[in-house]
C-alpha cells in the first residue's frame, strides 16, 4: 500500500473542555429590580461592581428599579414630561455613568492598567 501515512481525523473520544474548567469563577451578587408592572428581575453581576440604578424589564420593557415599593415611572413613550422629570432622568443617568466609571476604574486598577 503506497500511502501509509493517511491523515487521520480528530481523535475519537477526546473529551471536550468544559467551560467551567476554563474560567475562574468570580464572586457574584444578585441584584433584583422591580418594574411598574410588578415584574421581578434578577441580574447577576460581579460582587464588587456597582449595580446600575435601573434595569430595563425584560418582560415589558419598562425601566425597573431596586425599590419594589417605588418602581421608576415610565421614561419612554410618554407624551409629556415636565422639566423636573427631565432633570431627574438626566441626573439618574449621570449617577449611573459615574457608578459605571468608578467600577471600570477599579477593575482597571486591579488588572494593573493605568
Residues in contact with Zn ion by CB under 5 A are 35, 37, 39, 57, 59-60
Cβ proximity to Zn ion: between 41 and 92 the closer is 41
CB of 99 to Zn ion, least distance (A): 23
CB of 34 to Zn ion, least distance (A): 8
CB of 38 to Zn ion, least distance (A): 8
Cβ proximity to Zn ion: between 35 and 51 the closer is 35
Cβ proximity to Zn ion: between 59 and 91 the closer is 59
* CA–CA separation, 23 and 33 (whole Å): 28
* CA–CA separation, 47 and 77 (whole Å): 34
Cβ proximity to Zn ion: between 29 and 37 the closer is 37
DSSP state, residue 94 = H
Task: Measure CA of the first residue to CA of the last residue in the chain; give whole Å.
Answer: 63
- With beta carbons less than 8 A apart as the criterion, state whether 66 and 32 touch: yes
CB of 55 to Zn ion, least distance (A): 10
b/e 34-61 (16+ beta carbons within 10 angstroms → b): bbbeeeeeeeeeeeebbbbebbebeeee
Amino acid at each position: 500500500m503506497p500511502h501509509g501515512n493517511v491523515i487521520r481525523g480528530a481523535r475519537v473520544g477526546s473529551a471536550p473542555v468544559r467551560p467551567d474548567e476554563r474560567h475562574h469563577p468570580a464572586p457574584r451578587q444578585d441584584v433584583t429590580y422591580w418594574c411598574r408592572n410588578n415584574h421581578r428581575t434578577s441580574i447577576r453581576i460581579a460582587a464588587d461592581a456597582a449595580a446600575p440604578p435601573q434595569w430595563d424589564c425584560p418582560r415589558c420593557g419598562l425601566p425597573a428599579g431596586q425599590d419594589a415599593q417605588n418602581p421608576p415611572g415610565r421614561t419612554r413613550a410618554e407624551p409629556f414630561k415636565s422639566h423636573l422629570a427631565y432633570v431627574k432622568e438626566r441626573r439618574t443617568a449621570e449617577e449611573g455613568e459615574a457608578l459605571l466609571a468608578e467600577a471600570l476604574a477599579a477593575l482597571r486598577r486591579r488588572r494593573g492598567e493605568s
